A and B are shown apart, each in its own frame.
Chain A
Amino acid sequence: MKKKLTRGSAMILSALHKEGVEIVFGFPGGAVLPLYDQLYDDPIKHLLVRHEQAAVHAADGYARVTGKPGVVFATSGPGATNLVTGIANAYMDSVPMVLITGQVAKNFIGTDAFQEADITGITIPVTKHNYLVRDIEDLPAILAEAFYIASTGRRGPVLVDIPKDIFDQEAYFEYNTRCDIPGYKPTYEGHVGQVSRAVKAIRDAKKPVIFGGGGLIRSGASTALRELAEAAQIPVILSLMGLGAYPGDRELFLGMPGMHGSVTANYALTEADLIIATGVRFDDRVTGKLESFARHAKIIHIDIDPAEIGKNVAIDIPIVGDVKMVLEELLRKLRPGDTADWLKQIFAWQKKFPMPLGSGSAGGSLKPQFVIRELSRLSGEDTIVATDVGQHQMWSAQHFIVRDPNTFLTSGGLGTMGYGFPAAIGAKLAAPDKKVICISGDGSFQMNIQELTTAVHNKIDLTIAIINNGFLGMVRQWQDIFYAKRYSYTEMEGNPDFVKVAEAFGAKGLRAASDKEATAAIKEAMQTKGPVLIDFIVDPEENVYPMVAPNHPINEIIVGGDQQ
């Protein structure tokens, strides 16, 4: 094959083609002019956002839905620093992503040049890896490594910072997607000895539970999980990041554990004699007080990242490997135990402690839980939900029935307000045939409200449901419970009229303040080509229950609200 000289910016687009990238999320600027010039007549699509943070969240939503790395372009300096929250968010939730930033020209680096920011330095703690390209000759291999690292092992964002002059330099372009990186060799197959110990533990367990997380979704392990749970009759608890890995409407599903988890899930973890933890990292929001977490249980921990095993909780049977491969291996060797009595106990708890539907105190006002349930009921089974952060996020996790993996997108690790709406845009681009709903709060939505332009201009057909309580509700709830109702700066005085905002951007806006109006508005939105925004005026002081106070044992639950 005859080699020919290729310019840096052309190399990048060739690499994207070879990686199967169909769309890039970004925002241009001086340092990436050559790259955007190359993009001008390339078939790869580009979604022009209105703030770089939104580009990362949109790429994140796209990546979660497709399983492929999301790709982001941004310029040097402020363009690059605007990415940081999005990158940190993707890092915490292990989302595959490749970010390409422009940098000032090589001979300006280190001089505090115009729009210079040390973005590789800034993002070391929040990327899986990053590169500053110093030589055009290195560019093809760095791009290949970036995609390889982002999309293998424990997924994560990789940033490639490219000085402006390198986009215009030329070198021979050879692209080899099969990378061999001496310091990066993920383990995929579980250790045989540990797997047989796990098989025995499952056979002997009287009160086993499966506790699954985002790792199940990233590795595509849902089918294996379902087969294992059902063959062995073991109930399933899913973390916020794991929702959808097991269908939310099956009998064996106990819900989410931890701070706002179901009573049954928390009781089951506390009483279990065996926890099969798969693709989870025992976050403090799940374990509550560590010393009293799962004291009676033997714990099997399956995870691709060895550093997660034993980090927070002592593990009896550690299995490093790809969650899907290990579950399939377990399934082949499975000898089910007898869990009938345990299930009887579990179903009794479930009956006794259903999810509270709201306090009903402020008679007649619209309950956020009702809104979420109606959204779930009326949107159909093939829906993707992207949430923001706060009470509405927890109510969504509790009340929206999530049936499939990659259909519940939420900022789990970082808890980033402003994530939901751009992520929903990315999700719709990834799955044009699915219904997409962004469930947001009146606070969170304003953090990326400018993306209404992006959504309207690109005719993104989605529904934005604002659970408008006029407060930074989750913070207000903590002030209510732990700070004697001193609502310091959590009331959203001065909120805009969201319906008018939607209309000003060219979207449809609806409002609902009662059950009847809510149902009608949702029905209308489902039949309207979006973007449609619904402003749900809900009970301003409704709290999320059940609740476990931070650093308390997870079986010390404030049940709260009425019990229907």
Chain B
Amino acid sequence: MKHVLAVLVEDKPGALTRISGLFSRRGFNIENIAVGETLTPGISRMTITVEGSELLIEQVVKQLHKLINVIRVSNLSTEPSVMRELMLIKVNAEVGNRSDIQQIVETFRGKVVDVSPDSMVVEVTGNEDKMEAIKLLLQHFGIKEIVRTGKIALLRGSKVTRESLNGSRWQ
């Protein structure tokens, strides 16, 4: 099963290396990873998607916790949450099939963000199923290039993943 982990990390040099190194060293597979800032200066949030059994995920979470720069790890897959990913697709587009592509993009509530004589760039956001579905449809026209951000996620409702940095810290 796929698990989506929200990992709050101190913004320190090497923090990302420590985390990615941990995954490769212990043979955990990162499916995708997204990193960005949080409301608290000095803390980044990583969203990591990992495939594995409950037992493996338990080890992943515990090993992440052992890293000094890791402040909190929550498994968002065990609770209702919103998950999104952004994808840009450069697809072959001759004059003749542009409107077909346009229609597919609209159905998926995507956007065409660039057009050139023989291609278009399409932007879609959504969950994994949606990404895969539109990819499949556009493949028909020939996909030239694709780029994805990796999944990000938040818990549903008012509950938050706390990110307080209590305690003084050299900075």
Interface residues of A (CB under 8 A from B): 120-121, 124-125, 128-129, 132, 134, 137-138, 141-142, 145, 149, 180-184, 305-307, 310-311
Contacts and interface: CB of A to CB of B under 8 A. Distances in A.
Contacts of A306: 62, 65
Contacts of A307: 59, 62-63, 65-66
B65 to A, nearest CB: 7
Nearest to B64: A307
Given A132-B13, A183-B10, A307-B63, A124 B70 contact: no
12 contacts: A124-B14, A125-B21, A128-B68, A134-B13, A141-B169, A181-B167, A182-B165, A182-B167, A182-B169, A183-B67, A305-B66, A307-B66
B63 A149 contact: no
Contacts of B67: 183
Contacts of B165: 182
A182 B10 contact: yes
A121, A145, A181 — which one has the most chain B CB atoms within 10 A of its CB? A181
A134 B13 CA distance: 10
Most chain A CB within 10 A, of B17, B68, B71, B169, is at: B68
Nearest to B14: A120
B68 A181 contact: yes
Contact of A149 (B14, B68, B170): B68
Interface in B18-74: 18, 21, 25, 55, 58-59, 62-63, 65-71
B58 A310 contact: yes
A183 B168 CA distance: 12
A530 to B, nearest CB: 41
A475 B61 CA distance: 37
Contacts of A129: 68
B166 interface: yes
Contact of A181 (B13, B18, B55, B169): B169
Given A129-B68, A182-B169, 10 more contacts: A124-B17, A125-B21, A132-B13, A137-B170, A142-B170, A181-B68, A182-B10, A183-B68, A183-B69, A307-B63
A138 B170 CA distance: 6
A129 B22 CA distance: 13
Nearest to B72: A183
Given A182-B165, A310-B55, A141 B170 contact: yes
A224 B169 CA distance: 36
A142 B169 CA distance: 9
Given A307-B63, A310-B58, A132 B14 contact: yes
A227 to B, nearest CB: 31
Given A124-B18, A124-B21, A180 B62 contact: no
A180 B166 contact: yes
A142 B25 CA distance: 26
Contact of A180 (B18, B59, B168): B168
B84 to A, nearest CB: 27
